[in-house]
Amino acid sequence: MARSVDRRPDDAVIEGHDVVKEYHTGEQTVRALKGIDFGIASGESVAVVGPSGSGKSTLLNLLGLLDVPTDGSVTLYGEETATFSRADRTRKRKDVIGFVFQSYFLIPTLTARENVEMPRLLDRTPERTRERATELLERVGLGDRLDHYPDELSGGQKQRVAVARSLINDPALLLADEPTGNLDRDTGDRILDLFDELRETEDVAVVTVTHDDYVATAADRVVRLIDGTLRGGE
């Protein structure tokens, strides 16, 4: 039954081989990922589906270079991520990866545009950043909400700001953790449509982690994560 579910594409952004991740909680060792293989090609759309506790978040953390595997290898453009220093990982995250979270995680004291600019705020290119942020917000349909603060926006609008933020550094990989989890179906649909559009126009691979099968239907490829192992998708 356990067959390799990945395509191991030549143009892979990030690949994993025999990836194991263990957590230590007190005396116990929890094996969250039990040796999985995966590969994300540039521009593709993958949904990772699984019940809670299946290791989805762990996988997402590894894909997002927020964590390193206990065993096995994760490579970013062929480079082994375990060899990166913490500062390297931070820089790669900034250059390659965009994040969208279930609860948006916008900074309440910054306007929509400032939130989008935020990942690049410390770069010394304020004008270019501002232009790009404005463009992205227009792109996600919030051109008229540039100077609104998060508490003046609806949930869907917040998530669209978050999507715009994730794209500010022109990432190759967009990681979305339950992006529609806090939204009603219509609004969620619009976010998923937005991902599809962006995938084409911005040439970004989108990995969506969800426990919702409905969300998964929007993706090109679905992988199921059950109890730390991958099962084939449709």
Partner 1 sequence: MIPWTRLFGRVPSMLVARRNVTRAKVRSGLAIAAIVIGVVAIGAIGAGGAAFKQSQLATLDDQGATNVFVLPGIDRDERTFDRTDVQRIEERIAPAGVLATRSGGGELRTREGTEPVSLTYLAAPRLVYDVRAGSIPTNWRRGALLSAGVADEYGLEPGDRVHLTRDGETSVVRVEAVVTGGGGVGGPSVLLPLELTGERRFSRLRVTTQSVERAESAAATLREEFNGRTDTLLVFELTSLVRLFRSIVNGINLFLAGLAAISLLVAGVSIASTMLMAIIRRRQEIGVLRAVGYGRRDIVRILLAEAALLGLIGTAIGLTLALLVTMAANALFLGGPLAFAGESLLYLAAAALFGIGVSLVAGVYPAWRAANDRPVEALRG
Q: What does the binding site for partner 1 look like in residue numbers (CB under 8 A)?
A: 57, 61, 64, 66-67, 86-87, 90-91, 93-95, 98-99, 101, 103, 105, 107-110, 114, 118-119, 121-122, 126, 165-166, 169
**Quick check: helix, strand or coil at residue 46?**
strand
By beta-carbon proximity to partner 1, the closer residue of 65 and 192 is 65
CB of 66 to partner 1, least distance (A): 5
Which H helix or E strand runs over 158?
helix 155-166
CB of 22 to partner 1, least distance (A): 14
Question: Letter for the amino acid at 16?
Answer: G
CB of 72 to partner 1, least distance (A): 18
CB of 74 to partner 1, least distance (A): 14
By beta-carbon proximity to partner 1, the closer residue of 118 and 231 is 118
Question: Letter for the amino acid at 103?
Answer: S
CA separation, residue 15 to residues 60, 129, 152, 206, 212 (Å):
13, 30, 40, 14, 24
By beta-carbon proximity to partner 1, the closer residue of 61 and 229 is 61
CB of 21 to partner 1, least distance (A): 11
**Quick check: helix, strand or coil at residue 226?**
strand
By beta-carbon proximity to partner 1, the closer residue of 42 and 101 is 101
Separation between Cα atoms, residue 148 and residue 203, nearest integer Å: 28
Provide the sign of the torsion angle of the four alpha carbons 221, 226, 231, 234, taken in this order: negative
CB of 118 to partner 1, least distance (A): 7
The first and second tokens of residue 161, run together, are: 């700001």
By beta-carbon proximity to partner 1, the closer residue of 54 and 222 is 54
By beta-carbon proximity to partner 1, the closer residue of 20 and 110 is 110
Separation between Cα atoms, residue 84 and residue 35, nearest integer Å: 21
**What are the backbone angles phi and psi of residue 200, rounded to the nearest 5°?**
-75, -50
CA separation, residue 16 to residues 2, 57, 208 (Å):
16, 15, 17
